[in-house]
Amino acid sequence: MYIKQLYTGCLSEAAYYIESKGEAAIIDPLRDIDIYLDLANERKAKIRYIFETHFHADFVSGHLDLGKVTDAPIIYGPGTETKFPVHIAKDGEQFKVGGLTIEVMHTPGHTLESACYLLKDESGKDHCVFTGDTLFVGDVGRPDLAQKADEITINDLAGMLYESLQKKIVPLNDDVIIYPAHGAGSSCGKNIGANTYSTIGEEKEYNYALKATSKEDFIKAVTDGIPPPPQYFPINARINKEGYDSIDDVLTNGLKALPVSEFKKLMHDDKTIVLDTRRATDFTLGFVPGSISIGLDGRFAEWAGSLLSFDAPMLLITETGKEKESIIRLARVGLDKVQGYLDGSYEAWKNAGEEIDMIVDVEADELLMDIPFDPNLVVVDVRKPTEYAEGHLKDAINIPLSEMTDPGSMVNIEDNHNVYVHCAGGYRSVIASSLLKRQGIHNIRNVVGGWGKIIEQGKVEIIKEKSVLN
């Protein structure tokens, strides 16, 4: 028996490779499938099955491309409806992978078709359960993401989730390993723990949702304080349900090296997005005017999906050698309309004598020194409302980055304001600054190191929003 968790940090997503006696199964694959094919080839195994725990909302799955290459059937749980051929499993149905048995456990609640997969070893003993978004380490899946009929409410789904957990998951032995689909940072739960696997016993002891004494308590616990989901979630769920273009076609269309003259011509289309995936620290020093910064070194795909249009053509500016990676990571969330990239990166644009723009970086101590003496100084805090509530500078305006595609979010910023932008550590503030620039706000300073560096200075008046925290 061989099990490998394939974890993708920028999406907090876990796919799984399971193998026994030369046969393999993949659970919840990403859209870029080479890692699964290479692993099977390296281990001289044949991929027999592709299991999906549900219609994912936070990424585009690789089930279709992987199925075409391997001829392996795609397995979904009961009640699944798709526009492509799949095997809709019955609750309790079993599949053999070498000497192993994988049993389907229908666990509606996160979504209606959600299923967990219980793996039994060669002796028939329950070894582990792949819980998808039904059960996480320290958390459970949020019940507000399902593509559902209008008459089914969030509370209805939360109630289903309670029944699924109590009837299917909790009765398993304490030593059964839990392998979830996501880890910390994922928006598919409220507060997922740091570890990427656990056991039934540990979750019974520490998971707040499994400690609820009644269905009513459970529903209240899992529905209270759910933040709004990223805007791209319904789009990805629909793509996973209806189908998508091959990743090979996406790469063929996107991997076109464009000289400065052609790049410039294409970018003048008002609908075209120019995305710069270089590090934030490189972007602020100089960039193509009008481009948006979302660096590969952060939660790239999640922010791209949350902030960019899925219908607009896109041009890329990347670090040299990062073109393919940028396209693949965009495709993971369904952004696959890349038309090409700037040949020679930003340096080629600069060396051609084209107009450039930049964002002034300032240290936290400079911000704090300027606050008492500049009546036109405005601090824009782009962290989440909960982060802002836990502590912020007096009079700072909270405009969460996720809301900055809405021009109305900038109503409090005037032309005469000196705008200082910060987040927690510096990644989101550069994205925000690039969006502000696109909306015609140019007197911007990016606070290097963000809130972390601000509070390091000491003697800072910290305001807390108790109404939000409560």
Q: Token pair 């549900």 is at which residue? A: 54
Q: How far apart are CA 12 and CA 30, in angstroms?
A: 12
Distances (CA, A) of 78 to 117, 187, 261: 13, 25, 54
Q: Token pair 């824009």 is at which residue? A: 380
Q: How far apart are CA 176 and CA 233, in angstroms?
A: 31
Cβ atoms of 139 and 192 closer than 8 Å:
yes
Summarised one tens digit per residue, pLDDT across range 388-428 is 999 999 999 999 999 998 766 666 788 889 999 999 999 99
Q: What is the pLDDT of residue 191?
A: 87
Cβ contacts of 151 within 8 Å, gap of 6 or more: none
Task: Give the pair of three-digit tokens for residue 74.
Answer: 């795609």
288 C-beta neighbours (distance < 10 Å), count: 22
Closest CA to 419 of 439, 400, 404, 441: 441
Task: Give the pair of three-digit tokens for residue 367.
Answer: 């911000």
Q: Determine what percent of the chain is predicted with pLDDT higher than 70.
A: 97
Task: Tell me the whole-structure pTM to 2 decimals.
Answer: 0.93
Cβ atoms of 421 and 433 closer than 8 Å:
yes
Summarised one tens digit per residue, pLDDT across range 187-217 is 999 889 999 999 999 999 999 999 998 999 9
Q: What is the bridge-based pairing of β-strands 377-381 and 397-398? A: parallel
Cβ atoms of 131 and 119 closer than 8 Å:
no
129: left (phi over 0), alpha (psi -120 to 50) or beta: beta
Q: What is the pLDDT of residue 227?
A: 86
Summarised one tens digit per residue, pLDDT across range 427-453 is 999 999 999 999 888 899 999 999 999
Task: Encode burial over 40-71: b for 16+ CB neighbours within 10 A, e otherwise.
Answer: beeeebebbbbbbbbbbbbbbbbbbbbbeebe
Q: How far apart are CA 373 and CA 378, in angstroms?
A: 12
Q: What is the pLDDT of residue 158?
A: 96
Q: How far apart are CA 330 and CA 336, in angstroms?
A: 7
Instruction: Return the amino acid letter for 309.
Output: S
Closest CA to 297 of 273, 272, 276, 274: 276
Q: What is the pLDDT of residue 246?
A: 93
Q: Token pair 């053509």 is at which residue? A: 313
Q: What is the pLDDT of residue 311?
A: 93
Instruction: Return the amino acid letter for 415.
Output: D
Summarised one tens digit per residue, pLDDT across range 250-260 is 999 999 999 99
Return contacts of 90-95, CB within 8 angstroms, 24+ apart. Answer: 95/25, 95/49
Q: How far apart are CA 57 and CA 399, in angstroms?
A: 25
Task: Give the pair of three-digit tokens for residue 10.
Answer: 């920028």
Summarised one tens digit per residue, pLDDT across range 266-276 is 998 889 999 99
Averaged confidence pLDDT in the chain: 94
The model's confidence at residue 145, banded by pLDDT at 50, 70 and 90, is: confident
First CA to last CA across the chain, in angstroms? 48
Task: Go through the domains of the chain in sequence order and give each one's CATH number.
Answer: 2-235 (3.60.15.10), 245-351 (3.40.250.10), 360-469 (3.40.250.10)
Q: How far apart are CA 310 and CA 139, in angstroms?
A: 30
136: left (phi over 0), alpha (psi -120 to 50) or beta: beta
377 C-beta neighbours (distance < 10 Å), count: 16
Q: What is the pLDDT of residue 407?
A: 64
Q: What is the pLDDT of residue 56?
A: 96
Cβ atoms of 41 and 67 closer than 8 Å:
no
Helices (H) and strands (E) in the chain, counts: 17, 26
Angle between helices 247-254 and 323-331 (to 10 degrees): 140
